[in-house]
Amino acid sequence: MEKVTHAPHDHYDAEASKIGMWLFIFTELLLFGILFVIYSVYRYLNHDAFHLAAAELDTFTGAVNTLILLVSSMTIAMSVTALQKNNKPLTLLLNGITFVIGVVFLVNKYFEWGAKFDHGIFPGSATLAETLSQGEILFFGLYFIMTGLHALHIIIGLVFIAVVMWKVARGKVHAGRSALLENSGLYWHLVDIIWIFLFPLFYLIV
């Protein structure tokens, strides 16, 4: 009797995948929401000190990073549409552009942080303790924590996008199986939304 072999079952549940991503996004929003509340309370209690400390930040660099992240949200959304239209090269191109933009954001943040470190402005710095008020120290502490946590999310997002690009290139993510790309887009939009709140809080509000 001829032996019948069965191909391994490849379970794919796009809806469950998306629900899982939305739940994850909710927890991330909750985390940053708590940090935003903490920031608001300390700013209310130390308004003048926060105003002085904010003047030390480079508003132009912050604005550039805001602009490029908004562009990256557009490119990753367009990549989903391209995949749904079975345009694999365009999907990879748009994801590649998003990836490069994310790297540019991190490079800008590296130079911005580097300038602060050169002036002795970083957590635990003797310069902070000797020359700045307690309110200003609180401002920079929150600045490094919140923007650093956001930068970590950018790095995670870049890894996510790289994995998706690899799967698209190998044909494992395609028009009929696009949940992974859509989830990477949702995550990247989360990163952008968080920055849209961080930028005015630290750079613009006086």
Q: Please give the share of the chain, as a percent, with pLDDT higher than 90.
A: 64
Phi/psi of residue 174, nearest 5 degrees: -150, -175
Strand, helix or coil for residue 66: helix
Q: Is residue 148 situated within a structural domain?
A: yes
Q: Please say if the pLDDT value at position 152 is more than 80.
A: yes
CATH number, domain of 68, equals 1.20.120.80
Q: Which range (22-31, 47-56, 123-132, 169-178) has the least confidence?
A: 123-132
Neighbouring residues of 77: CB distance < 8 A, sequence distance ≥ 6? 185, 189
Q: Using one digit for the tens of pLDDT, what is the confidence trace for 2-24?
A: 444 444 445 556 677 778 888 98
Give the domain extent around 97: 16-204
Q: Is residue 2 situated within a structural domain?
A: no
Neighbouring residues of 81: CB distance < 8 A, sequence distance ≥ 6? none
Q: Is residue 1 situated within a structural domain?
A: no
Q: The whole model's pTM is what?
A: 0.87
Q: Please say if the pLDDT value at position 161 is more than 70.
A: yes
Mean pLDDT across the stretch 146-167?
Answer: 95
pLDDT of residue 10: 54
CA 50 remoteness from chain centre = 24
Q: Using one digit for the tens of pLDDT, what is the confidence trace for 29-77?
A: 999 999 999 999 999 999 888 988 888 898 999 999 999 999 999 999 9
Q: Is residue 9 situated within a structural domain?
A: no
Q: Is residue 7 situated within a structural domain?
A: no
